[in-house]
Structure 1
Amino acid sequence: MNLFLMAVLLFSPRECYPGKLARTPPPPEFDTVHKYDALKYSLELYLDIDGEQIEKGITIVKLLPMESMDSLYLNFADLTVDSVLFGDVPLQYTLRDTGDQRKLWIYFPSPIDDTVEVKIVYHGSPSTGLFFGSITYVMNIPPPSWKPTGARHWFPCYDEPYDKALSEIILHLPQGMRAVANGSLVSCDTSGQEWTFDWMENYPIATYLISFAAADYAVIHDTLDYQGYTMPILNYVPHSDSALAAEDWSNLPEILSFFSDLFGTYPFIGEKYGMAKLPHMGWAMENQTNTFWAITTPGNHHYEATVAHEASHQWWGDMISPAHWKDVWLNEGFATYCEALYMDHWSGGVPYENYIVELMYYYLSHENDPMGYPIPIYDPPDLWNATTYEKGACVLHMLRMIIGDSTFFGLLRTYADSFRYGNAETADFTSLAESISGSDLDWFFDEWLYHPGHPFYRVYWFKEGVAPCTLSIQIEQAQSHNYGVPTYKMPIEFLAKSGDQEFLFTLWDSLDYQEFTVEVPFSPDSLKMDPHHKVLCQYIVTSVKEDPFSVYWRPRTVRNAGNELIVELPLSSHRDALLKVFSTSGSLLWTGKFTGKERIRFRPSEKLPSGMYLYEILLGGKAFTGKFIYLK
């Protein structure tokens, strides 16, 4: 672990680091009403902190029509519009709908077909998105609803992730409050009763990531030196927390360098990265260049994985934003997977496989949260859950196991380069995965992204011979298919062991029930499934020994259930089988045939007295016997 010397310094105008210009491409046609490309949002806000309101807000929207148009709308909830101007010309406007769905419709006197700027002046108290207090901050995915619609509550914008733009935020604040926002500080004035800060984001940014925080902050300075680049890391922390935060966030240069090595240079290298400490609320938010930390800072790196998670979002979520919220796993699944990568790298972390196992166990324990049933990764009815985070990470892990390390990390690097500063859909990633790997992966993505749940394997194995030994293995997928849970096709590793001898082999399972035969160079004492945790699954492995009372084809259950004897085979079988029932004196009372079914029922006649009876199952050329007690 590298050690970095940090100091808590006062904020000064020398912290202005202008970023290089990055032009956002026109957005794809994801809707039919939105006929323009937002190029830049320039905000100027006069904040009344005690009154918890925007005393005066000015937003200038620079946009490029994609076709001639004489009207447009912006999402704008809550606040009062004072005027809308085109240059110095007032424009007509109307407000339609209410709440999150409220839109500001703007009408031009004649059609426009070239770049224009529209100025909206407004005031009021946002109901959400912007929160006032001694620490005033923006959270555009606000609790308790956690809907990604907070931005429209404090400035007018086209509030969809697929229309990215540049941004500028000028903040007028009471004396003593320092502000941090996206991008670079281009100017500040702390000479009077009102302090002013001007932050410029010169890389394309989605509206849900546009943010600022203001408080009586100390500023912790650090630096990323990476392949000839020198970039400031600026962490804004209340003075009382500054020493603890300095320790907890001291590995940020190492984290950013690690991910830069894997995915390409930190995307906003011309500006900054930093963290801003908020009151403890149990969440963190990966605002572009400017993560907000509403978690404690204990000073012992307890949340190191979360620090890495948020930093990785600068690639996955900020540099490449989701085309739609149905693609949110491209943010959260990727960032959760990055936790495992970094924790394996960090000297104070845990091995990669151990961390993956923790993610698997967490998902399996929370699969039905919060809906009460399993949901798919793609287009989930709830966005923030173990499916989009932990299961999404496990899908990347399984993909890596299938296509190999070199191809997998090449895929991530190519994905980063192909959609840099733009948007991606799930189909973009899956198509690229097939192209890079040269493999048909539809089967994999279909079952893991577009269907819910996970496989639950019941495995029965039986050995014959010594050296070589023949293993007969039956795999049953026992998961319920409710809610669209599929039958999975997956390569499954098995490890046969006897003392120090080991034999690793892979079986491709793709049906509800399959039988396999494997030659092993020794007689194994044990068979372990998925020894390296390559598959997100649950399983039970049963060794069936060849003796009269614990045999390979021994029935799973024999029970009296409402005046009928039910015998179930261990698995569905294509073999014909016979069930015979005898009295204790050996008299044959009944014969029934399985004919490949899983269950057969023996219904005793009313004349049959209560007592003990014997049964015999003839299966695969072998006879298995047992006894049961019948009670009327």
Structure 2
Amino acid sequence: MTPGVGPLGATPGADYSNDTYLPAHGNGGYRVLHYDLDLDYRITTNRLAGKAVVTARAVQSLSRFSLDLGRFRVQSVRVDGQPAKFTHRAGKLQIKPERPVAYGSAFKIEIRYAGTPVPISGRWGDIGWDELTDGVLVASQPNGAPSWFPCNDRPDDKATYLVTLTAASPYTVLVTGDLVSRRRGAGNTTWVYERTEPTAAYLMSVQIGRYETVDLAPGTGARRVRQRAAIPPRLRAVFRHDFARHGEIMAALEGLFGPYPFREYVVVVADDDLDDPIEAQGMAIFGRNHLDGLRTHERLVAHELAHQWFGNSLTVADWRHIWLNEGFATYAEWLWSAASGGPSADVLATQWHARLAARPADIVVANPGVHRMFDPLVYKRGALTLHALRTRVGDDVFFALLRSWVAEHQYQTVTTDQFREHAQRFTARPLDDLFAAWLDRRPLPPLPLFS
């Protein structure tokens, strides 16, 4: 049977992505170009009603295809304006259009749906749309996006977005993207956000709360990137202290990695405790417990900001390459420490190498496995890999190759092999042995020191 041709439920591979870790999330046969989401959310009853118009391009002939969508009631589906047959079960919305979609053609899918949004449960707990004490937090890494909209939930399918969301007027609504308009009605306000840079579904986020919006720092760089924050008003003073150096962090990371890749950066502080901060495209979300008036968590501020380059602009092609996100963001913590008068990256690398040496060497950083993709070893040993590379090639070459890596792959997806090849372009010294020791083998290599 030709892929893409057959009865509903018969297309090989159409309901699965090529992601080696999460093959059941994401779908084959097409690539999304744009999402247009029109959402109405009732905070008191936690009810979401939506219309999603998904514009996609077929990469094979399609008699049927699927999208990822959580536990909503799907009211209707249309393909290019015509009613389409569909089934919705086990997180997959399977669609059979009236006529097959031809290879290479663009097509539009309109889905109307409603229900109670709940997170996607799995090995990492509850991921996606989540109720706060008074509001909403959406943190979708790696597979929570279907908890609030129908999507192709794979990191390598980036698209643009227009999100319209209506909610009760006392609440501030923040969506990853640029605010286009805000219209106040009788008791409700409609917020419209646009995300024009290609964005993976897991990096789209919605934050709803009784927030005060404040400037985070003056704009920095030639493009004067806007930095702002949404915070509970009662935390204003402690926030001002703990995030006082954010403009300096932005300037430092721009100097190291190149221009900030988006027009705006938004920090949200939820009025709930969170285990860890969370990054989204152009946004980072912290819990109130990350504020203590002592800047205890400033390294995490640098970490989340660094993800805008490594993870969000440059996004892993699939999840086995997660060290390209987390190792780089962890190393950014060490670089900020050095820039701000704290311990140098060499000191921190030495300390972390000693800690890792006391633990079992039981992980392959370049392919840690789905069960350990968020293991701290991936973060710290990934950072040590970069430090080892830096000591091998020297500062000038190291930071030149990082800036070039960011610039050449802006808004694209990346792999570990691409980074190896990219780094080798910048030096005549062989790097295969370094990458093999740090990324491909379990034993912890000795830490090279600066000469």
TM-score range, shorter chain: 0.7 to 0.9
**1:130 counterpart = 2:129:** yes
**1:246 counterpart = 2:240:** yes
For residue 441 of structure 1, report the CA deviation from its aligned partner: 1.9
Counterpart position of 1:276: 268
SS in 2 for 1:176: coil
SS in 1 for 2:224: strand
Counterpart position of 2:58: 65
**1:216 counterpart = 2:235:** no
The answer to whether the 8 Å contact 1:322/1:331 transfers is yes
Counterpart position of 1:165: 159
For residue 432 of structure 1, report the CA deviation from its aligned partner: 1.1
SS in 1 for 2:244: coil
Q: Out of 229, 233, 236, which is 2:230 matched to?
A: 236
**1:380 counterpart = 2:371:** no
Q: Distance in 1 between matches of 2:430 and 2:18?
A: 28
Q: Distance in 2 between matches of 1:227 and 1:380?
A: 37
Counterpart position of 2:419: 429
Matching residue's letter, 2:268: A
SS in 2 for 1:112: coil
The answer to whether the 8 Å contact 1:83/1:121 transfers is yes
What RMSD over aligned residues (CA atoms) do the two structures have, in Å? 2.2
**1:183 counterpart = 2:182:** no
The answer to whether the 8 Å contact 2:27/2:152 transfers is no
Counterpart position of 1:389: 379
SS in 1 for 2:280: coil
Q: Distance in 2 between matches of 1:248 and 1:88?
A: 51
Q: Distance in 2 between matches of 1:155 and 1:361?
A: 45
Matching residue's letter, 2:51: I
Q: Distance in 1 between matches of 2:245 and 2:139?
A: 25
For residue 140 of structure 1, report the CA deviation from its aligned partner: 0.8
SS in 1 for 2:247: helix
For residue 184 of structure 1, report the CA deviation from its aligned partner: 0.8
Q: Distance in 2 between matches of 1:215 and 1:151?
A: 20
Q: Distance in 2 between matches of 1:149 and 1:387?
A: 22
Counterpart position of 2:31: 37
The answer to whether the 8 Å contact 1:74/1:157 transfers is yes
The answer to whether the 8 Å contact 2:82/2:98 transfers is no
SS in 1 for 2:241: helix
For residue 390 of structure 1, report the CA deviation from its aligned partner: 0.6
Against the structure 1 CA distance between its residues 400 and 228, is the aligned structure 2 distance closer, same or farther, given a 3 Å change threshold? closer
Q: Out of 316, 322, 325, which is 1:322 matched to?
A: 316
Q: Distance in 2 between matches of 1:246 and 1:272?
A: 19
**1:353 counterpart = 2:346:** yes
Q: Distance in 1 between matches of 2:193 and 2:298?
A: 28
Q: Out of 270, 275, 286, which is 2:279 matched to?
A: 286
Counterpart position of 1:119: 110
For residue 109 of structure 1, report the CA deviation from its aligned partner: 1.8
The answer to whether the 8 Å contact 2:334/2:345 transfers is yes
Matching residue's letter, 2:175: A
Against the structure 1 CA distance between its residues 193 and 362, is the aligned structure 2 distance closer, same or farther, given a 3 Å change threshold? farther
Q: Distance in 2 between matches of 1:229 and 1:255?
A: 16
Q: Distance in 2 between matches of 1:341 and 1:162?
A: 28
For residue 53 of structure 1, report the CA deviation from its aligned partner: 2.8
For residue 124 of structure 1, report the CA deviation from its aligned partner: 1.7
For residue 193 of structure 1, report the CA deviation from its aligned partner: 0.4
For residue 249 of structure 1, report the CA deviation from its aligned partner: 1.6
Q: Distance in 1 between matches of 2:380 and 2:273?
A: 23
The answer to whether the 8 Å contact 1:357/1:533 transfers is no
Against the structure 1 CA distance between its residues 216 and 376, is the aligned structure 2 distance closer, same or farther, given a 3 Å change threshold? same
The answer to whether the 8 Å contact 2:78/2:111 transfers is yes
**1:300 counterpart = 2:288:** no
**Any unmatched runs of 5+ in structure 1?**
1-27, 142-147, 456-489, 493-529, 535-632
Q: TM-score, normalised by structure 2?
A: 0.87
The answer to whether the 8 Å contact 2:314/2:414 transfers is yes
For residue 334 of structure 1, report the CA deviation from its aligned partner: 0.3
Alignment of 1:150-549 (within 5 A): 150-268=144-262, 271-278=263-270, 279-294=272-287, 295-347=289-341, 349-365=342-358, 367-368=359-360, 374-381=362-369, 382-455=372-445, 532=449
Once the two structures are superposed, residues 31-78 of structure 1 have per-residue CA deviations (whole angstroms, 9 ceiling, x without a partner) of 996122211122222112222232x12211111122332322111122
The answer to whether the 8 Å contact 1:223/1:230 transfers is no
- Identical counterparts, % of pairs: 27
For residue 362 of structure 1, report the CA deviation from its aligned partner: 4.0
The answer to whether the 8 Å contact 1:362/1:390 transfers is no
Q: Distance in 1 between matches of 2:99 and 2:354?
A: 60
Against the structure 1 CA distance between its residues 338 and 205, is the aligned structure 2 distance closer, same or farther, given a 3 Å change threshold? same
Against the structure 1 CA distance between its residues 362 and 179, is the aligned structure 2 distance closer, same or farther, given a 3 Å change threshold? farther
Q: Distance in 2 between matches of 1:251 and 1:180?
A: 23
Q: Distance in 2 between matches of 1:117 and 1:438?
A: 49
Matching residue's letter, 1:429: F
Counterpart position of 1:53: 47
For residue 437 of structure 1, report the CA deviation from its aligned partner: 1.7
Counterpart position of 1:77: 70
Against the structure 1 CA distance between its residues 358 and 171, is the aligned structure 2 distance closer, same or farther, given a 3 Å change threshold? farther
Against the structure 1 CA distance between its residues 228 and 447, is the aligned structure 2 distance closer, same or farther, given a 3 Å change threshold? closer
Q: Out of 93, 99, 102, which is 1:104 matched to?
A: 93
Q: Distance in 1 between matches of 2:428 and 2:101?
A: 46
Matching residue's letter, 1:103: K
Once the two structures are superposed, residues 67-108 of structure 1 have per-residue CA deviations (whole angstroms, 9 ceiling, x without a partner) of 332322111122221111235421111235x2xxx3211122
The answer to whether the 8 Å contact 1:363/1:386 transfers is no
SS in 1 for 2:110: strand
The answer to whether the 8 Å contact 2:74/2:114 transfers is yes
Q: Distance in 2 between matches of 1:178 and 1:336?
A: 31
Counterpart position of 2:83: 90
For residue 340 of structure 1, report the CA deviation from its aligned partner: 0.7
Aligned length: 415
Q: Distance in 1 between matches of 2:441 and 2:202?
A: 28
SS in 1 for 2:264: coil
Once the two structures are superposed, residues 548-601 of structure 1 have per-residue CA deviations (whole angstroms, 9 ceiling, x without a partner) of xxxxxxxxxxxxxxxxxxxxxxxxxxxxxxxxxxxxxxxxxxxxxxxxxxxxxx
Return the structure number with greater relative CO, CA threshold 8 A, min gap 6.
2
Matching residue's letter, 2:189: W
SS in 1 for 2:441: coil
SS in 2 for 1:229: coil
The answer to whether the 8 Å contact 2:328/2:382 transfers is yes
The answer to whether the 8 Å contact 2:83/2:98 transfers is no
